[in-house]
Amino acid sequence: MNNDLPTSIIIFGASGDLTQRKLIPSLLHLTRKGRMQSKVNILGFGGTAFTDEQFREHLLKGLKEFADFEYSQADWDSFAPNLSYLQGKYAEAADFKKLSDSLTKLEIGQANRLYYMALPPTLFPTIIDNLDATGQLHENGGWRRVVLEKPFGTDLASAVQLNEQVHRALNENQIYRIDHYLGKETVQNILFTRFANTIYEPIWNRNYIDHVQITVAEKVGLEHRAGFYDSVGVLRDMVQNHLLQLAHPRRNGAARLVQRRSPAR
């Protein structure tokens, strides 16, 4: 596949909290650091009625509130023209035909595409089926990738069923199942502290660790995410995903704060 082609990033659920709070600030930050291609189209798809300009204003408001890095007006002015928006329904095939037409106009030729699902998992199969039915997952020159934001199902049975549904349209190498929490600096530092440190590596195991404590101090309340929490719930959103991955021995060894004791004790 040709990585030199222009890239389109399509965000489903673009009017929601994750896009405003995490995705767009991260994409701007990568652009500022020169880690994005010169030509990237970022197209938001969601149920809220936005013009392109209203969408940009909505994202800029989130950037001012949530960005944890310094950026200039010039940074935003060069980034904002890459942003556009399409209102649509996730179950409407006609709206996906509009999406396909909009991308064709933006790309003007072959392009790579990344579809990001910033949505509850119940919507993944519907969106992927509509993308497949409108020919938007075919890799005819450019690659096609789909990012599925956690939670991936609600239990083992639903996760298996979701996998089967997704695999009807996609190969495994096209699918990325992610948890944005694992990209946080503190979380990444756990890996670095353990595996790059010859002092900690031999003793960060069950023989020396008495117990693990993980504290989550949330600044964000329910806000406008009632629909998400009604279907997902805070335990499934935070505990089974973010927190258990911090303690998972094959991922991170141990949490950042541990109580150690001598094996002779």
Residues catalogued as catalytic? 242
The DSSP secondary-structure symbol of 94 reads H
Q: Which amino acid is at 35?
A: R
Looking up tokens 């993980």 gives: 214
What contacts 135, CB < 8 A, 6 or more positions away?
A: 100
CA dihedral over 127, 129, 130, 132, signed as positive or negative: positive
- β-pair partners for 258: 212
What contacts 197, CB < 8 A, 6 or more positions away?
A: none
Distance, CA of 136 to CA of 152 (rounded, Å):
22
